[in-house]
Amino acid sequence: MATHLVQDLDGMARIVKKFGGTSVGDMDRIQNVARRVAKAVGEGHEVAVVVSAMAGVTNQLVGYCRTAATFHDAREYDTVVAAGEQITAGLLAITLQELGIPARSFLGWQIPIKTNNIHGAARIEEIDPATLEACFKEGRVAVVAGFQGIADDNRITTLGRGGSDTSAVALAAAVSADRCDIYTDVDGVYTTDPRIVPKARKLDKITYEEMLEMASLGAKVLQTRSVALAMKHGVRTQVLSSFEELPGTLVVGEEEIVEQEVVSGIAYSRGEAKVTIVGLEDTPGKVSGVFAPLAKNNINVDMIVQSASDDGTTTDVTFTVPEDDLKKTVQILEDNRDVLGFSDLVYTGDVVKISIVGVGMRSHAGVASTMFDTLSDKGINIQVISTSEIKVSVVIDAEYTELAVRALHSAYGLDRED
């Protein structure tokens, strides 16, 4: 992405600033956000803002939809859950106006932010930069409702949980912003979630690739899709605190990192569920018979292991799905029980996926075995394993989450020295 010229000419920049749910959690905090935006405007920067819903609001709206129906109409779900961001966008615009800063709110469709029609998990396909460009020109702050867009069928879509990050990065790419600042309730990206490991260290920089893995493996500090977009368009993305004026973490290309750790972070994801199909007939077509109907219902199967049984006629297949989809998964499998012919279905949501991530892993042996040794020393049983070039993930009992993450954090030398 070309760097916007303004920055080179006189130190001013075009910046998209995104404020998460806690940062806009009440009116005091919205005022705090407005002051930060006003400061950047006062320094002469061109600023556009993206906001999330107030903390807790989206969860509440999702809860209403679930109460209304297990298999609810995803289009109506989007109409409901997109509502939280409308409120904060309007409130921040009003608050900025009170500070004498010209501002107006925009909903996704008013930009427009065009998406595909996968309701609940839509992808941004196109953003017309004209609306934001016009605001920059007029010296007006556009406050955009994050998390939402509009599909071809003229219906509101949402981008999946945590999707305001993606709205911000996509807008930053569309207007060739110099930077996308993601303001949140921690002051950067840490070696692991600082809320469960007090010894976690803040990273000055992290590569796009590692951040992408960390995010997709559960570090919700950035939505996965936002990192993919930042990487694709070379958006300089910074994660920083909305409460303190501290330098944050910059997500950068690999070439910008001088010394690369073997393992740079540990992620965990509690939102997993494990399903075992016991006694599935061991013949061609049976496994595909299990996963095809799940895929058709947009259920994302993650890790899969198949174990042959003693007599070779049946097999057990274990896999993980998002916990939110467990009910649906079980229902679909039970509906197909006669065709599939398995003997039992065992499932639990009491599992967690723990992952170690690092680009340095590519050139180091023994990284996975340190993980297995560390967990076994703590008496933690590994239920499923999967690996890729730069990560190793295991599924374990949820009750050991903190113990496992802390032990691994120490084992890979990531603990902060006090």
Which member of 75, 123, 220, 327 binds ligand ADP (CB under 6 A)? 220
CB of 98 to ligand ADP, least distance (A): 23
CB of 166 to ligand ASP, least distance (A): 8
CB of 382 to ligand ASP, least distance (A): 30
Q: Tokens 């190793």 belong to which residue?
A: 392
Integer Cα distance of 237 and 208 in angstroms = 9
Of the candidates 187, 101, 173, 178, the one whose C-alpha atom is nearest the C-alpha of residue 143 is 101
Is 162 a binder of ligand ADP (CB under 6 A)? yes
Integer Cα distance of 380 and 397 in angstroms = 8
- The nearer residue to ligand ASP, 157 or 315, going by C-beta atoms, is 157
DSSP assignments along 68-81, one per residue = H-TT--HHHHHHHH
Q: Which residues pair with 249 in a beta bridge?
A: 239
Is residue 183 exposed (0-12), middle (13-18) or buried (19+ Cβ within 10 Å)?
Answer: buried
Phi, psi angle pair for 47, to nearest 5°? -125, 130
Q: Which residues pair with 278 in a beta bridge?
A: 344
Site string for ligand ADP, 1-20 (x = CB under 6 A): -------------------x
Is 169 a binder of ligand ADP (CB under 6 A)? no
Is 218 a binder of ligand ASP (CB under 6 A)? no
Site for ligand ASP in 53-72 (CB under 6 A): 53, 58
HEC string for 231-245: HHHCCCEEEEECCCC
Q: Tokens 């071809």 belong to which residue?
A: 152
Which member of 162, 188, 218, 358 binds Mg ion (CB under 5 A)? 162
Residue 161 interaction partner, one of Mg ion, ligand ADP, ligand ASP, none, beta carbon < 5-8 Å per kind:
ligand ASP
Sign of CA dihedral 207, 209, 212, 213: negative
Residue 248 interaction partner, one of Mg ion, ligand ADP, ligand ASP, none, beta carbon < 5-8 Å per kind:
none
Token pair, residue 146, equals 């994050």
Is 146 a binder of Mg ion (CB under 5 A)? no
By CB under 6 A, name the binding residues for ligand ASP: 20-21, 52-53, 58, 84, 146-147, 161-165
By CB under 6 A, name the binding residues for ligand ADP: 20-23, 52, 162, 184-186, 189-190, 192-195, 214, 219-221, 265
By CB under 5 A, name the binding residues for Mg ion: 20, 162
